[in-house]
């Protein structure tokens, strides 16, 4: 503490001092089990986010790349706005003071690596990362010179980096809607959804919300996959597919009956179709982990786990 203000606000370190247990009486004869952590060393040390002397039976690193796809597509099928926001989440259970090095297939990193090794860059999918922000543990001087992400990780769970990608986005789904208004009391809705990712992959919890007018009275559906129903609270036809395999094209056709109103006919604004989904082992940006190296002076073996997942952010298709 400096004049009553804490100088280290890392949650991992604060947890050592802010506990949920009772306060021990100074007259208690029972000796304290836990050694008192050295706060001064923690604040003034080079690695303020990790305490020394950590020991694990099994040394493991879990790395999750989680991406959200944001899309706005016109009724004719052209992309009006598209970007991916992603984050790399880590969970470290490592003994001692390990030094980690992460390599991604980003364009700048691969070009820098080929310059340092004086050999041509390997051909393959490279991506350009925008708006990259790192956790405080990342060595920024090394990143600026070598373009590699090297760091001494905090113990447990933390967010290593955030990024955004605006070019070369692989859209997981294409939606082809046709909505016909047949007079004042009937509508025909046909929606085809195509999964563009690999045939061996599948999406989970896919929900397609198709807006309909407020005066909807009755609906009837035909679906080739999943289930569809009308939700009066949100004025939407909701089509749910629990498991959606890649390279497939399920369709939904619905007949909507409307209540004929005597009031002046206002033209229906046609809000966009919205989608929710989750695609494991797929990245819309094409980001891939090329390597994750762990160095520690004791030289123990580490188990690394890497997982990719793509979710829907604001995924909208005008109809």
Q: What is the pLDDT of residue 135?
A: 93
Rounded CA gap, 132 and 150, in Å? 15
> pLDDT at position 37, please?
53
Q: Distance between CA 314 and CA 41 in Å, rounded?
A: 46
- Check: CB of residue 127 under 8 Å from CB of residue 285: yes
The label of the residue with tokens 């040394």 reads 59
Q: Percent of the chain scored above 70 by pLDDT?
A: 81
pLDDT for 100 equals: 95
Q: How confident is the model over 14-42, as a mean pLDDT?
A: 60
> Residue 122's pLDDT is what?
47
207 φ, ψ to 5°?
-130, 125
**Distances from the Cα of 94 to the Cα of 14, 51, 204, angstroms:** 20, 12, 32
The least confident of 44-58, 90-104, 160-174, 218-232 is: 44-58
Between 140 and 2, the higher pLDDT residue: 140
DSSP states of 66-92 as a string? EEEEEEEE-TTS-EEEEEEEEEEEEEE
Burial class (CB in 10 A: 0-12, 13-18, 19+), 122: exposed
**In Å, how far are 103, 121, 251, 262 from 288, measured between CA atoms?**
9, 16, 32, 59
* Pick from 35-49, 75-89, 102-116, 262-276: least confident: 35-49
Q: State yes or no: pLDDT of 35 exceeds 70.
A: no
According to DSSP, residue 36 is labeled P
Tell me the average pLDDT across 145-158.
Answer: 90
DSSP code per residue over 232-276:
TTTTEEEEEEEEEETT---EEEEEEEE---SS--PPP--PPEEEE
Q: What does the block give as tokens for 191?
A: 């929606």
* Segment 173-195, tens digit of pLDDT: 999 999 998 888 899 999 999 99
Average pLDDT over the chain reads 86
Predicted TM-score (pTM) of the model is 0.80
Specify the higher pLDDT residue, 316 or 123. 316
pLDDT digits (tens, 9 = 90+) for 264-307: 566 778 899 999 999 999 999 999 999 999 999 999 999 999 99
């Amino acid at each position: 503490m400096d004049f009553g203000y804490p100088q280290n606000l890392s949650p991992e370190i604060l947890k050592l001092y802010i506990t949920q247990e009772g306060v021990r009486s100074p007259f208690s004869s029972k000796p304290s089990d836990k050694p008192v952590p050295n706060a001064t060393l923690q604040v003034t040390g080079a690695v303020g986010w990790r305490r020394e002397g950590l020991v694990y039976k099994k040394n493991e690193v879990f790395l999750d790349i989680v991406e959200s796809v944001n899309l706005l597509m016109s009724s004719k099928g052209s992309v009006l706005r598209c970007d991916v926001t992603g984050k790399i989440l880590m969970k470290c259970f490592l003994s001692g003071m390990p030094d980690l090095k992460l390599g991604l297939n980003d364009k700048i990193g691969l070009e820098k690596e080929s310059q340092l090794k004086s050999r041509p860059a390997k051909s393959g999918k490279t991506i350009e990362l925008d708006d990259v922000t790192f956790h405080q543990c990342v060595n920024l001087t090394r990143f600026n010179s070598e373009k590699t992400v090297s760091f001494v990780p905090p113990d447990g769970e933390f967010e290593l980096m955030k990024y955004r990608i605006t070019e070369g986005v692989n859209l997981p789904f294409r939606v082809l809607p046709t909505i016909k208004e047949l007079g004042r009391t009937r509508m025909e809705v046909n929606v085809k959804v195509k999964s563009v990712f690999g045939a061996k992959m599948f999406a989970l919890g896919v929900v397609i919300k198709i807006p309909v007018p407020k005066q909807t009275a009755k609906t009837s559906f035909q679906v080739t996959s999943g289930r569809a129903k009308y939700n009066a609270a949100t004025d939407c036809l909701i089509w749910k597919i629990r498991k959606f395999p890649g390279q497939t094209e399920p369709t939904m056709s619905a007949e909507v009956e409307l209540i004929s109103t005597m009031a002046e006919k206002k033209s229906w604004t046609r809000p966009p179709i919205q989608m929710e989904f989750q695609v494991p082992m797929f990245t819309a940006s094409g980001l891939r982990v090329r390597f994750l190296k762990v160095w520690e002076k004791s030289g123990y073996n580490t188990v690394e786990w890497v997982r990719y997942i793509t979710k829907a952010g604001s995924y909208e298709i005008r109809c």
